[in-house]
Structures are given as structure tokens and as C-alpha cells.
Amino acid sequence: MIRPAWTPATIALMVLGFFLFWPLGLAMLAYILWGQPPRRVQARREREDRFAVRLHA
């Protein structure tokens, strides 16, 4: 499985996608950039979830 990160495999697939058909390369770029939430956003959500659990307990 390809994870949404800047790895040699994803970069190669993105470049290949642009050569073959530009929307494929654009889709790969979007997947790399927005395939998963940034770590800071994810950590903040986890903190908010822990706070909500304590608040409603």
C-alpha cells in the first residue's frame, strides 16, 4: 500500500502520472498533500478527544 508521504515511490508515481496523463499526476500530488491530516492537527484532535472524555465522565 502506498502511504501519502514524500517517498521515492510516490514521487516516481507522481512524475510518471504527469508524463502519461496530467490529471493522474495531479491526483497523486493531491493524495500526497492531503491524504492524511497533518500530525499537528491529528495530535490536537486526540487532545480534544481526551479532554471531552474527562469533561463528560
Question: For position 39, what pLDDT does the model report?
Answer: 66
Domain count within the chain:
1
First to last CA, the chain: 39
pTM (whole model) above 0.75:
no
Question: For position 11, what pLDDT does the model report?
Answer: 85
Kindly list the distances between the CA atom of residue 34 and the CA atoms of 18, 20, 46, 53, 55, in Å, as whole numbers in the listed order.
18, 22, 19, 28, 31
Length of the chain: 57
Question: Looking at the domain assignment, is residue 1 inside a domain?
Answer: no
Kindly list the distances between the CA atom of residue 51 and the CA atoms of 2, 24, 39, 40, in Å, as whole numbers in the listed order.
33, 41, 18, 17
Question: Looking at the domain assignment, is residue 20 inside a domain?
Answer: yes
Q: At what angle do helices 8-20 and 22-34 cross, to 10 degrees?
A: 150
Question: For position 53, what pLDDT does the model report?
Answer: 81
| pLDDT string in tens for the chain (57-residue length) | 677 788 888 889 889 989 899 898 898 888 888 887 666 767 777 888 888 888 776
Question: Looking at the domain assignment, is residue 2 inside a domain?
Answer: no
Question: For position 57, what pLDDT does the model report?
Answer: 64
